[in-house]
A and B are shown apart, each in its own frame.
Chain A
Amino acid sequence: MRADAMIDARGHKCPWGIVEMKKRFRTMAGGQVIELLSDDRVSAHEVPIWCELAGHTYLGSEEAGDYAKYYVRRRQD
C-alpha cells in the first residue's frame, strides 16, 4: 500500500508508535497516509482503537516477517 510517510516503531512499545503518528499528522494534510512499522504485539489491537478515538481511518495491515505494517489515513480537520 502506498503511504505519504513512514514511522519505524520497531523495538518500541505502545503508546510510542501512536504518539509518533500523532506528531507526524500535525505536519500532514487530511487524507494523507502513514505507514507504521511495528513489532509490538498489541499494535494490531490498539492502532485501530486509536484511529477510532482520534477520528482517523484505519486502512489495514500487512505482515512483513517479524513485524507488521499498519496503514492509517489522517482525518480531515
Chain B
Amino acid sequence: MPSTMSAAGRIEGDSSMADKLTILLTDDSLDRACVALNIAVSAAAADKEVTVFLTCWSLRLLKKPGLQWSGDHLLNRLINLLTPGGPERLPLSKFNFFGLGAWMMRRMMAAKRLQSIPEMLETARELGVQFQVCDKPADVFGLELDDLSVPLETFVGAPSFVREALQSQAVICL
C-alpha cells in the first residue's frame, strides 16, 4: 500500500519497505521540474529506486535544446516550434511574463547556488534515476527518441506507469 506524505513531509509507514518511488510529471514548468528532480535526486541519494514518468507537456524537459521543426504534420511541427526544448527554456507555471519570470528565477537560483535543471538532470542520471517517456504525447508532438536529450531505448505506454506505481511505496504526481 502506498505511503502517504504527512504535513511534516515525513514518509509514513514502514520506512524499511520504502524502496521505490515513482514521480509522474505532466507539466512543462520550471518550478514543477525543479520539484520533481529535487525529490528524485534526494530519493536516489538515499539508495531508493526512482522512476520519473513524463507525459503530456513535461516531454519538453527532455527535448533537445533549440527550435525543432520535427513532426509528421503541420500542426505538431508548429507546436514543436512554439515549445522550444531544453531545460533552459522551460517557463514558470506562474508569473512567467513571456519568459522574464523564468529568467529571473534562474538568476536567483544561480545566486543562491541551487543546482540548475541541467545539473539536476545530470545528477539524477548519475544516481540511476530512470526516465520513462509516454508514447502518446511523443506521437502527438511528432517526437522521436533522437529528439530527446536523454538516451532511451523506447517510448512506453500507460501500463508501464501503472506497473511502476503499483510496485512503488509512494507515487508523487506533479
- Residues of chain A touching chain B, judged by Cβ–Cβ distance below 8 Å, are 11-16, 18-19, 21-23, 49-50, 52-55
How many Å from the CB of A16 to the closest CB on chain B? 7
Contacting residue for B113 out of A11, A22, A54, CB 8 A: A11
Q: How many residues of B contact A (CB 8 A)?
A: 19
| Chain A positions within 8 Å of B127 at CB level | 19, 22
B18 close to chain A: CB less than 8 A = yes
A15, A49, A52: which has the most chain B beta carbons within 10 Å?
A: A15
A52 to B43, CA, bound (A): 12
Q: A22-B44, A50-B45 are in contact. List 15 more A-B contacts (CB 8 A).
A: A12-B113, A15-B38, A19-B123, A21-B45, A22-B47, A22-B127, A49-B10, A50-B42, A50-B46, A53-B15, A53-B46, A53-B47, A54-B45, A54-B46, A55-B47
Q: A50-B45, A54-B47 are in contact. Are A16 and B18 (CB under 8 A)?
A: no
A12, A14, A16, A53: which has the most chain B beta carbons within 10 Å?
A: A53
| Chain B positions within 8 Å of A55 at CB level | 47
B48 close to A53 (CB less than 8 A): yes
Encoded as 1 (CB less than 8 Å from any A CB) or 0, chain B from 18 to 50 comes to: 100000000000000000001001111111100
Query: In the complex, what residue of chain A is closest to B9 when comparing beta carbons?
Result: A49
- Residues of chain B touching chain A, judged by Cβ–Cβ distance below 8 Å, are 10, 15, 18, 38, 41-48, 112-115, 123, 126-127
How many Å from the CB of A41 to the closest CB on chain B? 12
B47 close to A18 (CB less than 8 A): no
| Chain B positions within 8 Å of A14 at CB level | 42
How many Å from the CB of B40 to the closest CB on chain A? 10
| Chain B positions within 8 Å of A18 at CB level | 42, 45-46
B115 close to A16 (CB less than 8 A): yes
Contacting residue for A13 out of B18, B114, B123, CB 8 A: B114
| 20 contacts across the A-B interface (CB closer than 8 A) | A11-B113, A12-B113, A13-B112, A13-B113, A13-B114, A15-B42, A15-B45, A18-B42, A18-B45, A19-B41, A21-B45, A22-B45, A22-B47, A23-B126, A50-B45, A50-B46, A53-B47, A53-B48, A54-B45, A54-B46
How many Å from the CB of A58 to the closest CB on chain B? 13
